[in-house]
Copies of this chain bind each other. A is one copy, B any other.
């Protein structure tokens, strides 16, 4: 992907691949050939292999024995389970954020909203999608529960994947400024409102998906290298 200043660790490789998936640069179903990744990242296959097993554990990648690693294509059922989980967990995140957020945390949230606004103005759809996911990951981090943070760090990239599969091609990534409203409610310590906004936000994302129509969306190979 680009020239390695210093040798990348397994985690960093996994993170790079995750970012690529979140930005829809790696579409669901695409095969990840170890050798290609190895030369791309300037490391040996051994490390790539470790990164891929990590990503497989996260569910972002699916391993087919003797056949290789593929970016996961979540089923509609899995998509529903994912949103059910997020509806369960994210209200708790909001509660804890309201309890524990210090001024610096709120500043970080504001800064993130700015980034999102910027990406939206520039029409940088890929960055919008990634940042939308990372907003929820940031909230999870601020909430202070490492287990929930880790869970969200898995669910958000998967959500991006689901959007890639089931969303209408040119839908605006995250409906408008719902993130900003959530942050405002948090800043005002209005728990009920913040939770309600969060749940509606999740509902909007899920409703925008076509989880019923099993459109076998294929990979646009030509667009990949266009």
Binding site for B on A (CB under 8 A): 10, 46, 49-50, 53-54, 57-59, 78, 81-82, 84-85, 88-89, 92, 144-148, 150-151, 154-155
Contacts and interface: CB of A to CB of B under 8 A. Distances in A.
Nearest to A147: B85
A124 B9 CA distance: 42
Contacts of A49: 50
Contacts of A145: 81, 84-85
Which of A50, A84, A147: most chain B CB closer than 10 A? Answer: A147
Q: Is the interface of A mostly helix, strand, loop or mixed?
A: helix
The 7 closest A-B pairs by CB, nearest first: A81-B145, A85-B147, A50-B53, A88-B92, A54-B57, A57-B57, A81-B147
Contacts of A50: 49-50, 53
A88 B85 contact: no
A14 to B, nearest CB: 9
Contacts of A54: 53-54, 57
B53 A147 contact: no
A10 B63 CA distance: 12
Given A53-B54, A54-B57, 11 more contacts: A10-B53, A49-B50, A50-B53, A81-B145, A81-B146, A81-B148, A84-B145, A85-B148, A88-B92, A147-B151, A151-B151
Contacts of A57: 54, 57-58
A39 B145 CA distance: 37
A155 to B, nearest CB: 7
Nearest to A52: B50
Given A46-B46, A88-B89, A88-B92, A146 B53 contact: no
A82 B146 CA distance: 8
A66 to B, nearest CB: 12
Nearest to A74: B146
A67 to B, nearest CB: 15
Nearest to A155: B147
22 contacts: A10-B53, A49-B50, A50-B50, A50-B53, A53-B53, A53-B54, A54-B57, A57-B57, A57-B58, A59-B147, A59-B150, A78-B146, A81-B144, A81-B148, A84-B145, A85-B145, A85-B147, A88-B88, A88-B92, A147-B151, A147-B154, A151-B151
